[in-house]
Chains A and B, each alone.
Chain A
C-alpha cells in the first residue's frame, strides 16, 4: 500500500508513543496501528472488488493529491487542537492565503516561490491576529475563530471583486502547471524513476509533516505548546509564556491553512474565493480520527495523515463501487461515529484491564 507507507511515517513512528497518555496501554490500543490496518484492509477490499482502484494515473494520483491537501488542512487544525483551541476559520484562512498568492502572480508578477511565500506570510499574519485576540481577551477560541470566519467569508470575495473582473486570478506563473500535473515519475535518478501515483504537491505535505513532527517531538517549544494545551494554569505557573504560545499555535495554523489553500489552488489551476469552502469537516475528521484530543495536550502528526488517508480511501472506494454522491456523506458520518465509539470501547476495555492487573 503506497498510500499508507509514506517516508515521514517511519521517521516519527517511534517518538509518537511518547505522546500517549501516562498509563501504559497494550499495543493493540494504538490508534495509529489500527488506522493503518484499516487503511490496508479497505484498500485491499476495494482493490479486489474494483481492480481499477490501483490504477496509478487515474485513481491513485488524484486520490493522493486530495489526501496531500487535506492532510495539511488536518495539520492546521491539529496545531490549534494541541493547545486545546479550535480553528473554525481554516477554510477561510486558506482562501485568504490563496488570494495573496493569486494577487502576487497576477498583479505583481512574482515567480512561483515568492508567491507561495507571500501566501504563507498572509496566512501567518491572519492566524497571529486571531491568536493575539484570543490571548489578549481570553475569549473562547471557538467564538473568535467563528467571528474571524464570518469576517473573512465576507472580506475575501470583496477583495476578489475589487482586484479582478471575473472574481478569479487565472494568471499562471511558470512552473505552476508542472507542479499540478507532474508526479514522481517525472523525477528520475538514472534509470530508476518514481511512481506515477505520487503527485509532486505531496512534497509540501511531507515537509509540513516532518516539520511538525520535529517541532512536537524534539523541541522545547513543541513541548510547551502541548503543556499549554494540557493545563494552561500549570503551564503559566511553570514559567511558560502561554499567551505567546497561543499566538504561535494560531499563526502556525494560519500558515498551514494558507499552504493548503495554495495546494488546492494549484490543483484546480485558478485562485478563487471558493477555495477552502469544504475544509472544515475534513480538518476535524483527519485530526480527530488520527488520535489528537479535542481537549488539548496530545497530538499525533502521523495520525493526521493516516486519518485523512482513511477518509480519502473510503471516499474514493465507495465512489468506484458506484455509491452515489448523496449516500457518500451518510457512510462517512457513520464511519466517523463508529470509529470513535470503537476507539472509546477499546480504551475503556484496555484501561479496565490495566487497572485490574495492578
Chain B
C-alpha cells in the first residue's frame, strides 16, 4: 500500500511499517496456506498438474481485482465489472464463432469495446455529476441485457482452437494466462508508481480539492480511471474466453463480489488515494487458496463465500484495531504529533508541494 504522504516521508515510520505489514501478512498467509495444503494433501498439491490448475483459475480474479482497484483509487466504485467482463467475453465468442473473425482481431475488438465502454461510463459520470455507484449500476443492467441478447441461452464454444491452446498451454506448468495476469499487474504497478499520470490518479483520489488546486483535472482522472478499469476487465474477459471451455450468459455473474474482496483484503482504502497492486494479487491468491482447500477437503461450496466474508470482516476490523493502537502509541508520548494520526487514518490527506499549479 502506498499513499502519497509516505512517499519518502520518514516522519511516519509507524504507518509505513503497518502498510508494509499488510502485504507481509498476506504473503505469510499465502505461503503458510500453500505449505499447509501441500502437507494436508500429502504432497500431491505441490505437484505439476495441481499447481497448473491452481494458477489457471487465478488469472481472472487477479485481473478483476486490479480493475476494481483502479476505480477505487480515485474514490469511485465500478459495479459493472462482472457485466462488462461477461459482455466482452460473449462479444469475443460471438465474433469468432458466428462471424468467422480470427482470434487475434476478435480479442482486440473485445478488449477495445470494454475500454470504450469504460471511457463512456467515465464521461457520463463526469458530465452528469451523478454518483458513480448509480451510473455503474445502470451500465451493469444495460450490459447484462446486452450480454443476454448476444449469447441467448446457448453456450458459445465453436471458436478458434489456437486461442484455446494458448489458454491451456503451460510452459513449466505455469499457465500462459497466469503469466498474462502477472505481466498486466507489473505494467499497472509501473504505471501507478512510476508515471506522472498514475501519480495524478492517486492525487485526485486522495484529496480532490488539493488536486484541483495544484492543477490536476479530477474529472479527467475519473474518466482515465474508468477507462483503465474497462481495459483491465477486457483483458480479464479475454483470459476467461481463452481458458474456459465456452462462454455463455453466466460468465461474469460471480465476478463482482471477488473484485471488491481482493483490493479490500489487499489494503486499498475505499475513500481513494491508495493502491496496492501486490496486495491485491496476494489477496486473490488467498481467495484461491480457500477455494482449493474447499476442494481438497470436499466441503460444500458455500463454505468458500462464508470464509471469504469472514476474512474480509477480519481484515477490516483487524486493520482498524491495529491503526487505533498505532494512533494511541503516537499520541501517548508527546502531544505534539496529535494531529498526525487523524490524517493517517485517511490516506493521502496532503499533496507533495512540488506539483504546484503555477
Interfacial residues, chain A to chain B (CB-CB below 8 A): 133, 137-140, 142-144, 146-158, 161, 281, 284-285, 288, 294-295, 325-334, 336-337, 340-341, 344
B332 within 8 A of A: no
- Report whether A333 and B140 are in contact in the complex, using a CB–CB cutoff of 8 Å: yes
Residue ID in chain B nearest A130 by CB atoms:
B313
Query: Which residue of B138, B309, B321 is within 8 Å of A149 (Cβ)?
Result: B309
- Report whether B142 and A143 are in contact in the complex, using a CB–CB cutoff of 8 Å: no
User: Which residues between 5 and 59 of chain B lie within 8 Å of chain A, taking CB atoms?
Assistant: none
List, in ascending order, chain B residues with CB within 8 A of A142's CB: 77, 270
- Report whether A154 and B317 are in contact in the complex, using a CB–CB cutoff of 8 Å: no
- Report whether B302 and A147 are in contact in the complex, using a CB–CB cutoff of 8 Å: no
Residue ID in chain B nearest A332 by CB atoms:
B141
List, in ascending order, chain B residues with CB within 8 A of A139's CB: 316-317, 320
- Report whether B312 and A143 are in contact in the complex, using a CB–CB cutoff of 8 Å: yes
With the chains together, A137 CA to B317 CA distance in Å? 6
- Report whether A150 and B312 are in contact in the complex, using a CB–CB cutoff of 8 Å: yes
- Report whether B138 and A154 are in contact in the complex, using a CB–CB cutoff of 8 Å: no
- Report whether B317 and A158 are in contact in the complex, using a CB–CB cutoff of 8 Å: no
- Report whether B307 and A137 are in contact in the complex, using a CB–CB cutoff of 8 Å: no
List, in ascending order, chain B residues with CB within 8 A of A149's CB: 257, 309
- Report whether B145 and A147 are in contact in the complex, using a CB–CB cutoff of 8 Å: no
CB distance from A217 to the nearest CB of B (A): 25
- Report whether B313 and A330 are in contact in the complex, using a CB–CB cutoff of 8 Å: no
List, in ascending order, chain B residues with CB within 8 A of A330's CB: 141-142, 145-146, 149
- Report whether A337 and B124 are in contact in the complex, using a CB–CB cutoff of 8 Å: yes
Given contacts A139-B316, A143-B264, A337-B124, contact A148 B309 (CB under 8 A): yes
Size class of B's contact patch?
35 or more
With the chains together, A133 CA to B313 CA distance in Å? 9
Query: Which residue of A147, A152, A295 is within 8 Å of B316 (Cβ)?
Result: A147
Given contacts A326-B149, A329-B144, contact A147 B270 (CB under 8 A): no
The residue among A155, A161, A333, A336 with the most chain B CB atoms within 10 A of its own CB is A333
- Report whether B300 and A341 are in contact in the complex, using a CB–CB cutoff of 8 Å: no
User: Which residues between 133 and 163 of chain B lie within 8 Å of chain A, taking CB atoms?
Assistant: 133-135, 137-146, 148-149, 152
Interfacial residues, chain B to chain A (CB-CB below 8 A): 77, 124, 128-131, 133-135, 137-146, 148-149, 152, 257, 260-261, 264, 270-271, 300, 302-310, 312-313, 316-317, 320-321
- Report whether B148 and A158 are in contact in the complex, using a CB–CB cutoff of 8 Å: no
CB distance from B304 to the nearest CB of A (A): 7
- Report whether A140 and B141 are in contact in the complex, using a CB–CB cutoff of 8 Å: no
Residue ID in chain B nearest A158 by CB atoms:
B302
Q: Is the interface of A mostly helix, strand, loop or mixed?
A: helix
Residue ID in chain B nearest A329 by CB atoms:
B145
List, in ascending order, chain A residues with CB within 8 A of B308's CB: 150, 154
- Report whether A281 and B141 are in contact in the complex, using a CB–CB cutoff of 8 Å: yes
- Report whether A340 and B134 are in contact in the complex, using a CB–CB cutoff of 8 Å: yes
- Report whether B141 and A333 are in contact in the complex, using a CB–CB cutoff of 8 Å: yes
Query: Which residue of B128, B152, B270 is within 8 Å of A143 (Cβ)?
Result: B270
CB distance from A82 to the nearest CB of B (A): 16
Query: Which residue of A154, A285, A325 is within 8 Å of B307 (Cβ)?
Result: A154
CB distance from A87 to the nearest CB of B (A): 13
- Report whether A133 and B130 are in contact in the complex, using a CB–CB cutoff of 8 Å: no
Query: Which residue of A137, A148, A157, A337 is within 8 Å of B138 (Cβ)?
Result: A337
CB distance from A203 to the nearest CB of B (A): 30
- Report whether A333 and B304 are in contact in the complex, using a CB–CB cutoff of 8 Å: no
Q: Is the interface of B mostly helix, strand, loop or mixed?
A: helix
Residue ID in chain A nearest B134 by CB atoms:
A288
List, in ascending order, chain A residues with CB within 8 A of B260's CB: 143, 146
With the chains together, A158 CA to B142 CA distance in Å? 33
With the chains together, A284 CA to B138 CA distance in Å? 10
- Report whether A284 and B306 are in contact in the complex, using a CB–CB cutoff of 8 Å: no
List, in ascending order, chain A residues with CB within 8 A of B128's CB: 340-341, 344
With the chains together, A260 CA to B131 CA distance in Å? 27
- Report whether A341 and B152 are in contact in the complex, using a CB–CB cutoff of 8 Å: no
- By Cβ-Cβ distance, the 7 closest A-B pairs, closest first, are A154-B306, A151-B309, A150-B309, A329-B145, A333-B141, A333-B142, A154-B305
With the chains together, A273 CA to B313 CA distance in Å? 22
- Report whether A151 and B135 are in contact in the complex, using a CB–CB cutoff of 8 Å: no
Residue ID in chain A nearest B303 by CB atoms:
A154
List, in ascending order, chain A residues with CB within 8 A of B77's CB: 142
The residue among A153, A295, A337 with the most chain B CB atoms within 10 A of its own CB is A337
> Could you give 19 example pairs across A and B, Cβ below 8 Å?
A133-B317, A142-B270, A143-B316, A144-B316, A146-B264, A146-B312, A147-B312, A148-B313, A150-B257, A151-B309, A151-B310, A161-B300, A294-B133, A326-B149, A326-B152, A327-B145, A328-B145, A333-B141, A336-B134
List, in ascending order, chain B residues with CB within 8 A of A133's CB: 313, 317
Query: Which residue of B144, B261, B271, B303 is within 8 Å of A140 (Cβ)?
Result: B271
Query: Which residue of A144, A281, A284, A336 is within 8 Å of B313 (Cβ)?
Result: A144
List, in ascending order, chain A residues with CB within 8 A of B144's CB: 329
List, in ascending order, chain B residues with CB within 8 A of A329's CB: 141-142, 144-145, 148
With the chains together, A193 CA to B320 CA distance in Å? 59
CB distance from A4 to the nearest CB of B (A): 23
With the chains together, A137 CA to B312 CA distance in Å? 14
Residue ID in chain A nearest B148 by CB atoms:
A326
With the chains together, A227 CA to B134 CA distance in Å? 23
With the chains together, A197 CA to B134 CA distance in Å? 33
Residue ID in chain A nearest B249 by CB atoms:
A326
List, in ascending order, chain B residues with CB within 8 A of A294's CB: 131, 133-134
The residue among B141, B261, B321 with the most chain A CB atoms within 10 A of its own CB is B141
With the chains together, A337 CA to B313 CA distance in Å? 33
Query: Which residue of A153, A288, A336, A344 is within 8 Å of B129 (Cβ)?
Result: A344
Residue ID in chain B nearest A325 by CB atoms:
B148
Given contacts A146-B312, A147-B316, contact A326 B303 (CB under 8 A): no
With the chains together, A137 CA to B322 CA distance in Å? 11
List, in ascending order, chain A residues with CB within 8 A of B131's CB: 294-295
- Report whether B306 and A155 are in contact in the complex, using a CB–CB cutoff of 8 Å: yes
Given contacts A154-B304, A154-B306, A340-B128, contact A146 B317 (CB under 8 A): no
Query: Which residue of A146, A154, A284, A334 is within 8 Å of B137 (Cβ)?
Result: A284
